[in-house]
Structure 1
Amino acid sequence: MAQHDSKEFFIKPEDYRKALNSEEDFFIQFQQFTQNVDSQIIKIIHRFLEHYDMLFHKDTIISIIKELINNAIKANLKRLYFESAGLNINDSSSYRQGMETFKDEVFQSHESKIITSLQGSKYMVRVSFSSKNESLSISVINNNPILESEMNKIKSRVTKAYKYQDISEAFIDVLDDSEGAGLGLIMALMLLKNSGFPQNVFTISRNDTLTSVNLCIPYNVMTPDIHFKVTEEILKEIEDIPALPDNIKEIRMLIKDPESAIKEIAKSISRDPGLTASIMKLANSAGYVTMKRLETIDEAVKIIGIKGINTLLIATGVQKVVETRYKRYESVWNDSYKRAFYAQLITKRINESSKLGDQVYLSALLADIGKIVMLSLKSEVIDTIKKINGFKGMLDSTLIEEISLGISHSSLGALICKKWNFNESLIKTIELHHRPHRAEDEYRNLIYTVYLADIMVEIENNKFRFELADEEVLDFFKLNDKKKFEEYHLSLKEIYSTKKNF
């Protein structure tokens, strides 16, 4: 089997990212759930869900898989304990005898020989990943068969978890003093339920040598009729989004005309005081990189250039749509301005500022336009889905919307940009700014730049961490060393802060 760069685990095929891109199955195998294994599991699940545009399920899936891994490790420790004590785990009286001391001797002991001896023993845990039949499959497998009585206990807990209304009910009902394993599984299953998944996505099976617990994540958890209604609702909202204002379209047409003089363009913009004020506000905002404060539209056109003015026209037009139709969600723009500013500076790191500058600004600024529209969908259909699914304890409103709709905000943003007839590079960047590994060669620099700017903003919002960053993107920018990444991120923050107070 292919050896990865750690003795604590191995992955097969070794390059799981390549396997994922070619739709091949892959797995990670280990004996102890160390910190390195934990980090690798999180990274793999993140990439796996990211690939299929299902990152909105990440927290739920990670919590459940980690609980299943802990249970598999515990099952292996139990086998080792019974073997070391000379007890037959399949004999009911020996089982009762062993379980009376198992928990204290293995988990309460300061230096448990059983835990130490697990590494190098015959017992393994394997987490496998595959995609088939319109669903993603993650299986946690350990190489010892679960007992019939334990199997029945787990199946009972699965059923109960889908009936509980509150976790306090589980405390009373399923605490298991001998193993202490019941409550964690119940909580994981309740999280699954509260994320809208039906009970049948969780299955457990065994044979003479293995126990396998499988999580089957459908691409869409909704029934076909509800999915049709939701799709209809999304399309209706997109259709109802206003087009960019006529005055902006007219000036953009003037910009496209190679015969147009800079003075003529500036004069045309100046005829609309509101538009002039909006462009000047954006040009001098913290989100746009300029060397000095601009005072007039003539100066702005000369210094920013035709491409820059065209970019600001689009940004101004989109902002006007948001202000009129989605005013409640203007706060999302604060992160957008910062992301756009970071992205412009990042282009200089790869000597692409002249080529990507204006395009990267617009792509980064509009990356979350789908989030704004998504949060505005408040129809009876969407509200009904939320009530059916529950979503108890979930505070991230964007996450709830994404799970409800079965579409990510980035995919929705791409649909909106198509409606506005934006160019393909802008559409692709918005669609893939959370999935940079799927970028085609011609858009790679643009998508990688927006992705890097976005994760920096997300890190500042405590919604992301360096360890989950796409390794190919970090390699591309020569930022795969955490210290270098943090130093560079800090330098961008300081420049932005200076600009913001300018």
Structure 2
Amino acid sequence: MAEEKRFNVDSEKIKKAALAGVPLSLTTYVLPHEMELYMSDVLSCFLESLGQSHMTDYLVYCLNELATNAKKANTKRIYFLEKNLDINNPADYEEGMKTFKKDMLEKLTYYLEKQRDAGLYIKVIFSARNNNIKLEVRNNSELNVFEYKRIHDKICRAHTYSNMNEALDKIVDDTEGAGLGLILMILMLKKIGLTDESYQIFVENNETVVRVELPFLDKRSKEFDIISQELVNLIEELPPFPENIVEINRLIADPDSDMAEIAMFINNDVALAADLIKMVNSAAFRPANPVQNVYSAVKMVGLDGLRNLLFSLGTFKLLGENTEEKRQMWVHAYKVAFFSHNIACSFCANDKAVMADAYVCGLLHDIGKVIFTTTHNDTMRHLIAVTQQKKIPLQVIEQMISGTNHEILGARIAEKWNFPESIIVSIKYHHSPEEAPEQYKKLAALIALANQICNYLDGKDTFQQISHSCKEMFGLNNEMQFRSLAEKLNMLFQRAEEKIN
């Protein structure tokens, strides 16, 4: 038997992307067999890099099934156009589906070339965030109501079967050519953690999107927790939070304290007073007239706002910007904070809690990354020793250092420093806002959106990679709306920077 032709896979590039949490995207127009093999090889390498090889057989089957269905959906559009049938008309749809499968198989090459000419594509995206694997298959043929009903029926049927043998014994309608395969796929994925919420199919930005999200193996999640805790315990550069700020926060929490007393206490620390006035006069707050003293600053931001600004100042004082890498991280953080504050003003003006927390949560969202840059070689050697002692794969440290799980570490550090719950939650879930506790979902989504807008403007993220829950929550239904918001925020930021400078 002749050996199958396969494209070369750049395993180092895939590993680097997987560990850094960067989505991998592959696009094809006709999905030839060589591309199917290549997609499977990339997915296998991706999962191996994350220590999730146990998912490979299941997700490769899932990928092939979904990509094939997407290709058939595109072919169907061409077929209906050729037959002068309206795919959204019930009678035409029923008529066309009687002969679609037979005619497609007889003239497959012809229809595939036609769909290439029409620009109909299949796009596959792999990503990993917050101990979850995400697989998306997109095609630019919008799902119609008849297709959605058939797919929904197959998914509902799959949940009634206890195993694959039971499903195989049933008679499945195959007029769509995607009956039994979809049911088997759902049954297979349930074995590795699929829930009703983690399989989604929807239309977005003129694309049909099928999204599958699966949790890492429980063992790997526990390994991340062990290393995160070790890192928190070991970084000697992280002293207790500055006592003067802790004392001011005690005053803020004391119902018998007033603004004048708190302002007087802050004035006793000349450096802190100067930093506070500077921050209140920064681009995000844009006071009509420059704030000249601490009392005016406290009055302007309120006690909750003051508390949050003090957490920001204390964090910056402890972590600093003594390297170029740290400086760039803080530049990004300030921009995210500015965007967060302005998004809150536009979309959440009546939500006092979100308004109070938006700026500081945006500023502190990446402290896990900043902390990684503070880690010395001695600490790394200790962590490696821990992995050997507890038989934890070295990939766990590699993945955390690459940034994929920096949010876990950041949240743990915030807990150690007794930050408010809102800040801890926004740090922990800024890459997965849909998983945040209900009370903080809007705040987490806002920080996630601000962060993704920054990455979009820097060319690091595409519109397709923006969180679906963020787009839905803030009514960003297409890329034009999203780009308009991003450009408006960027313009405001540049103007504010020019005004300050």
TM-score by length of 2: 0.53
**2:433 counterpart of 1:436:** yes
Q: Amino acid of the residue matched to residue 300 of structure 1?
A: A
Alignment length, in residue pairs? 322
2:482 paired residue number: 485
Contact 2:280 2:291 in 1 (8 A): yes
Q: Tell me the distance in 2 between the aligned counterparts of 1:259 and 1:135.
A: 46
1:410-447 Cα distance to aligned partner (Å, 9 max, x none): 11110111101112222111101100111222111111
- Greater shift after overlay, 245-254 or 404-413? 404-413
SS in 2 for 1:344: helix
The equivalent of 2:371 in structure 1 is 373
Question: Which of residues 231, 238, 242 is equivalent to 1:245?
Answer: 242
Unmatched segments (≥5 aa) in structure 1: 1-29, 77-110, 120-124, 141-215, 387-398
Q: CA deviation at 1:136?
A: 6.2
Distance 1:126 1:221, change over 3 A: farther
2:255 pairs with 234, 258, 263, which one? Answer: 258
Of 328, 334, 338, the residue aligned with 1:337 is 334
Deviates more, 1:317-326 or 1:433-442: 317-326
CA deviation vs aligned residue, 1:378-426 (integer Å, no higher than 9, x gap): 435747999xxxxxxxxxxxx9953558961111110111101112222
SS state at 2:272 partner: helix
SS of 1:501's equivalent in the other structure is helix
Quick check: 1:289–1:344 contact (8 Å CA) kept in 2?
Answer: no
Alignment RMSD: 5.0
Q: In 1, Cα distance between the equivalents of 2:493 and 2:273?
A: 24
Preserved contact between residue 345 and residue 492 of structure 1 (Cα < 8 Å): yes
Query: Deviation digits for residues 258-314 of structure 1, max 9, x if unmatched?
Result: 222222111111111111111112112234454442122122122222222222111
Number of the residue aligned with 2:356 = 358
Match of residue 311 from structure 1: 308
Letter in 2 for 1:360: A
- 2:440 is paired with a residue whose SS is helix
- Look up the match of 1:347: 344
Query: What are the residue-to-residue correspondences of 1:96-495 with 2, within 5 Å?
Result: 113=110, 115-116=112-113, 219=217, 230=227, 233-237=230-234, 241-323=238-320, 329-348=326-345, 349-352=347-350, 354-379=352-377, 382=380, 401-403=398-400, 408-495=405-492
Stretches of structure 2 that go unaligned for 5 or more consecutive residues are 1-27, 72-107, 117-121, 138-213, 385-395
Q: Secondary structure at the match of 2:476?
A: coil
Query: In the aligned structure 2, how far is the partner of 1:257 from the partner of 1:404?
Result: 40
CA distance in 2, matches of 1:298, 1:305: 10
Letter in 2 for 1:335: H
CA distance in 1, matches of 2:439, 2:298: 29
Deviation at 1:137, TM superposition (A): 10
Instruction: Answer yes or no: is the 8 Å Cα contact 2:311–2:419 preserved in 1.
Output: no
296 and 229 in structure 1: CA distance in 2 versus 1, 3 angstrom threshold: closer
| AA aligned opposite 1:302 | K
Cα drift, residue 485 of structure 1: 1.4
User: d(CA) in 2 for partners of 1:325 and 1:236?
Assistant: 22
More deviation in 296-305 or 401-410? 401-410
The structure-2 alpha-carbon separation of the partners of 1:283 and 1:217, relative to structure 1 and needing over 3 Å to count, comes to closer
Give 3-state SS (helix, strand or coil) of 1:259's partner. coil
Answer whether contact 2:231 2:383 (CA < 8 A) is retained: no
Q: Is the 8 A contact 2:228 2:409 kept in 1?
A: no
| Structure 2 CA distance for partners of 1:275 and 1:501, relative to 1, 3 Å | same
SS of 1:316's equivalent in the other structure is helix
Native 8 Å contact 1:284 1:290 kept in 2: yes
Question: Sequence identity of aligned pairs in percent?
Answer: 26
The Cα of 1:55 is off from its aligned counterpart by 9.6
After TM superposition, give the deviation of residue 248 of structure 1 in Å.
Answer: 1.1
1:429-484 superposed Cα distances (whole Å, 9 cap, x missing partner):
11011001112221111111111111011112221111111222212111122111
Q: Is the 8 A contact 1:363 1:426 kept in 2?
A: yes
Task: Give 1:118 deviation, angstroms.
Answer: 10
Contact 1:363 1:430 survives alignment (8 Å): yes
- Given that residues 238 and 419 in structure 1 are in contact (C-alpha distance below 8 angstroms), is that contact kept between their aligned partners in structure 2? no
